[in-house]
Structure 1
Amino acid sequence: MNTASSKKSFLHNQKGMTLIEIMIVIAILGGLMAILAPKFLKSKDKANIGQAKIQMGQLANGLSMYYNDCGKFPQSLEGLSKQDANCSNWGPEPYAKDKDMKDPWGTEFVYELNGSEYSLKSLGADGREGGSSFNADIPYEQ
């Protein structure tokens, strides 16, 4: 057997995937992605809700430390991260970082001061009052 004919037969005997086979594989992968993507997104939303609750707990700790040092709660959450002129015992380190003032969806937490009480909440995935499911407001439970 000479080398030219063996190379020729070798090239003709090689098998590859046809266009139809490739399209079938792509269709199967697309179907799997269509099934798994919603489950992944739902898991991400659940994780974001948990993260928002953790962040609100950290802000509540900062509010408690601020109250212990200043004898009152700040007028806004900004009082936790920036020196408050109305508090002579503020700090020396910030009670919270600026990046902690936003929920996992990038919306600022809602902080309302009512006398010596405060409320803290996240507006959820949609960033608006109310909503249901993952768009529902997430209140901080003291």
Structure 2
Amino acid sequence: MTLIELMLVIAVLGVIVTIAIPSYQNYIDKTNNALAVSQIVTIQSVIERYYLQNQRYPDKLDDIAGSLPDNGVDPWGNNYIYLNIADDWPQSRGPSRKDRNINPINTQYDIYSMGKDGQTQKQVSQKPSLDDIILARDGRFIGLAADF
């Protein structure tokens, strides 16, 4: 093999790696997002079961810790965030998360992952929140905040 052939092989490998790494990272991101959605669905189910048994929503996730998937930790290693707003609705409109029109996204409770970047804002349309995995419209939407 000549030096030129060797350089050509290295160049081709470089192009393949340049294409493959972002594709693989995109696959990992989609997989983690799907896992977070699945875990939020499970947490929502646990919260609703708690409500049926106690006629109120839990004050914090610690109240249902034994039933949480992965001990309440999202795929990026951060704790899921939960806020009970049902007990104080509509007075609790202040601490609840908001959509792009500053309307609360839920009336009973908020449960979400801060996503890949581990950052969030109260308004889900803000840049730090776009990668959050959220429950909105009282459970009728569960997914990426950017898609809400």
Tell me the TM-score normalised to structure 2 length.
Answer: 0.65
CA distance in 1, matches of 2:9, 2:56: 64
CA distance in 1, matches of 2:29, 2:48: 29
The residue number in structure 2 matching 1:77 is: 61
Cα-to-partner distance string for 1:26-69 (whole Å, 9 max, x where unaligned): 32112101012112212221222121111100000111111122
SS of 1:52's partner is helix
- List runs of 5+ in structure 2 lacking aligned partners: 88-107, 140-148
Determine if the alignment matches structure 1 residue 108 to structure 2 residue 83: no
CA distance in 1, matches of 2:2, 2:17: 23
| Alignment root-mean-square deviation, CA | 2.3
Tell me the TM-score normalised to structure 1 length.
Answer: 0.67
Determine if the alignment matches structure 1 residue 96 to structure 2 residue 53: no
Determine if the alignment matches structure 1 residue 64 to structure 2 residue 64: no
CA distance in 2, matches of 1:20, 1:134: 49
Largest Rg, 1 or 2: 1
Determine if the alignment matches structure 1 residue 51 to structure 2 residue 35: yes
SS of 1:120's partner is strand
Deviation at 1:126, TM superposition (A): 0.6
Determine if the alignment matches structure 1 residue 129 to structure 2 residue 124: no
CA distance in 2, matches of 1:134, 1:46: 16
- List runs of 5+ in structure 1 lacking aligned partners: 1-16, 82-93
Q: Contact 1:123/1:135 (CA < 8 Å) preserved in 2?
A: no
CA distance in 1, matches of 2:11, 2:111: 47
SS of 1:46's partner is helix
SS of 1:140's partner is strand
**Percent same amino acid among aligned pairs?**
30
Aligned residues: 113
Q: Contact 2:114/2:129 (CA < 8 Å) preserved in 1?
A: no
CA distance in 2, matches of 1:80, 1:55: 14
